[in-house]
Amino acid sequence: MDDKGNPDERRASTQEQHEVGRLPEFEVARKIFEWAKNNLPRFTWGNGKNKGSFFPVLDHNGESYWPISISSYGNIEIQFQWLKTRPPFDSESKRKEFLDRLNRIQGINIPAGSIDYRPKISLSVLKEKVELEQFLETLGWFVEVIKAS
């Protein structure tokens, strides 16, 4: 066997990647990515060996804000842990408002005690058009709050 690995393993990996591209979760992640290009226009990327993630970022007044990360294992992490160090989300009430807006979306139920952590929601919760639109509207609200600060 050469250093390129077993051909059967490479073929299986390619097939898995093709199948992932057809999953509803992949489509949700792609739509969030497309929306973020215009609203949270800088991206940082995780450095996991087997699983990946990306963070859409808004730079404003010398601060960097990343409200979410999206992982290749099908989750969105809400980045309250990092937001609590940046105005105006250093205010507990502002993080709570963000949480409340997220929890209005059917299928999302993040506990109130999570506003200092990185709670996860499944991308599959946003596979329906209405829920995805509400999520993007909530991220739009987040961007407006940052730009107004």
Q: Give CA–CA dist 141/114, Å, rounded.
A: 20
Contact 115, 84 (CB under 8 A): yes
Q: Give CA–CA dist 20/65, Å, rounded.
A: 29
- pLDDT, one tens digit per residue, over 109-139 is 999 999 999 999 999 999 999 999 999 999 9
pTM of model > 0.75: yes
**Token pair for 149:** 């600060």
pLDDT of residue 19: 44
Average pLDDT across the chain, whole number: 88
Q: Give CA–CA dist 100/116, Å, rounded.
A: 14
**Cα diameter, the chain:** 59
- pLDDT, one tens digit per residue, over 24-46 is 899 999 999 999 999 999 999 98
- pLDDT, one tens digit per residue, over 44-56 is 998 877 788 999 9
- Of the candidates 105, 106, 91, 108, the one whose C-alpha atom is nearest the C-alpha of residue 145 is 91
pLDDT of residue 111: 98
pLDDT at 22 > cutoff 70: no
Alpha helices in the chain, H assignment, sequence order: 7-20, 24-39, 80-83, 92-103, 129-148
**Token pair for 140:** 């739009």
CA 32 to chain centre: 8
Residue 70: strand pairing partners: 54, 76
